[in-house]
Amino acid sequence: MPGLAPGIRAAQQPDSAQSLEWMRVDGPGEPGHDGRIAWDSHVAAYQGVRRMNPYLDEDLVALADQARRFAVDRVAPGFQERDRTRTLDRALMKEMGAMGFIAPELPEAYGGLGMGCLAAGVICEEIARADLSMSYVNLLASLNAQILSHHGKPEVVEPWLTKLVAGEALVAIALTEPRGGSDAANLRLKVERDGDHYILNGEKTSISAADQADVTVVFGRTGTPESGAHGVTALLVPMDLPGVTRSRFDCHGQRAIGRGSIFFENVRVPVSHRLGDENKGFVQVMQGFDFSRALIGLQVLGVARVALEETWAYVAERKAFGQPISAFQGVSHPLADYDTQVEAARLLCLQALWLKDRGLPHSAEAAMCKWWGPKLAYDVVHQCLLSHGHGGYDRGLMEQRLRDVLGFQLGDGTAQIMKTIIARTRAGRAAVPA
Ligand SMILES: Cc1cc2nc3c(=O)[nH]c(=O)nc-3n(C[C@H](O)[C@H](O)[C@H](O)COP(=O)(O)OP(=O)(O)OC[C@H]3O[C@@H](n4cnc5c(N)ncnc54)[C@H](O)[C@@H]3O)c2cc1C
């Protein structure tokens, strides 16, 4: 199989009977089991099989393999340390950029790989397996680079896009305000025109990477308060402009990327930094969220998958009442249930990106990824933590994963809002007004 990565090649057993025999002999607890190395090779081969599906061609699987190696070698070692220190590793960001892992869907003119949105998906998934917070770099870059490249003036956005792809700049997106996030079209941040500048006054809150971002896509009101979605303008705002101040919250999870408020006091932003048309920020620019919702699904399911892999290995080794605890259906069946659902949810996310890459409608699918993925991932990691007994409750990988994935049940829109989007797509906006 020329071109395939080693993990994939290892999975190509001559026929299924031989493959099963190989698994039987090497599985932990079986006669002939020779310890961790054999189990690891079994897992690697299994993962190779798992990654092959109709959405991912050889190039994408090879990209995912590369991203997995980088994530294991470079991202995973600092997972807990970054949570403790609450800082994103800028040097690591640059390494990701140098590897081509940031916004690979962008055209080569901006430093991207021109590989499509599925490429962004497989990378997000692999980086998130090692550290969900770190994969925010990929998520924010892909979401915002799409907005910038479609709606920005080339002379303004190109230097930023080049830096984002290289991992030399971090971009945030600011929609939520203290008065609420779900009713996003009702936002109030004041944006007034003054010659060739806009003047911004107000607060954005609960913004990921608020105090670490170099530049932010900000949505504000240029129309009357009653203009709703039709009076919102999007602007690209460098965070070093006079009048911008920022705060940092003490978050439950995702602590390396963090969240906070951004305050604007008479901040002058050149009109050239507008994204899309005046008053059209919401209707034009918001469409980018269908992309991030599918990516978020893959991120959190990546975390769920790695938690399941570790837990399957653990329950096969850990003994109680003279048997591996996996022998008890109370232990293994919940894991089997969740394993099934993670497989299905992952395919849904890939399907959404596959539709996007073909320019086909995918808003309902993206909303499905966004409500199901984070809820499922939380339940999966919770079950995995319990399967580890008291050890799972210690500060460690599993409890950090649980804290990390919870954030995405809120960030980028709650399950209720996602289900409203699905309902509207199916029944029509008139039938589902709010
Ligand atoms: C980890 C994390 C990261 C985030 N990152 C960002 C970011 O980068 N940028 C950004 O702009 N925002 C960000 N947010 C904010 C996030 O988008 C909002 O928290 C979210 O949209 C919900 O808004 P809210 O918190 O104001 O809740 P509210 O809108 O006040 O809603 C409260 C509750 O009421 C429910 N509800 C509201 N309206 C309805 C309705 N019509 N039908 C049914 N239920 C309803 C909601 O589902 C929710 O459960 C982030 C939040 C978190 C937790």
Q: What is the pLDDT along the chain (434 residues), one digit of tens a residue?
A: 233 233 322 233 333 333 333 233 333 333 333 333 344 555 555 555 556 789 999 999 999 999 999 999 999 999 999 999 999 999 999 999 999 999 999 999 888 999 999 999 999 999 999 999 999 999 999 999 999 999 999 999 999 999 999 999 999 999 999 999 999 989 999 999 999 999 999 999 999 999 999 999 999 999 998 999 999 999 999 999 999 999 999 999 999 999 999 999 999 999 999 999 999 998 888 878 999 999 999 999 999 999 999 999 999 999 999 999 999 999 999 999 999 999 999 999 999 999 999 999 999 999 999 999 999 999 999 999 999 999 999 999 999 999 999 999 999 999 999 999 999 999 999 999 87
Terminal-to-terminal C-alpha distance of the chain: 52
Containing structural domain, residue 193: 172-279
User: Does residue 391 belong to any structural domain of this protein?
Assistant: yes
How far, in Å, is the centroid of ligand 1 from the Cα of 49? 37
Q: Which atom of ligand 1 is nearest to the CA of 209?
A: 8
Residue 335 shares a structural domain with residue 418:
yes
- List pocket residues of ligand 1, CB cut-off 6 Å: 172-176, 180-182, 206-208, 254, 259, 407, 410-414, 416-417, 434
Asked if residue 153 is part of any domain, the answer here is yes
Instruction: Note whether 291 and 418 are same-domain residues.
Output: yes
Dist. CA 17 → ligand 1 center (Å): 50
Residues 291 and 408 in one domain: yes
Q: Quick one: 267 and 304 in the same domain? A: no
Task: Say whether both 135 and 66 belong to one domain.
Answer: yes
**Chain Cα centroid distance, residue 193:** 35
Ligand 1 pocket test, candidate residues 182, 203, 296, 299, most atoms within 8 A of CB: 182
CA of 181 to the centre of ligand 1 (A): 4
Which one of 245, 279, 313 terminates a domain?
A: 279
Q: Which of 169, 203, 225 is the last residue of a domain?
A: 169
Cα radius of gyration rounded to whole Å, the chain: 23
Domain count, the chain: 3
C-alpha 320 chain-centroid distance: 37
Domain boundary among 248, 279, 310: 279
Q: Would residue 266 count as lying in a domain?
A: yes
Best mutation site among 170, 176, 292 for ligand 1, i.e. most ligand atoms within 8 A of its Cβ? 176
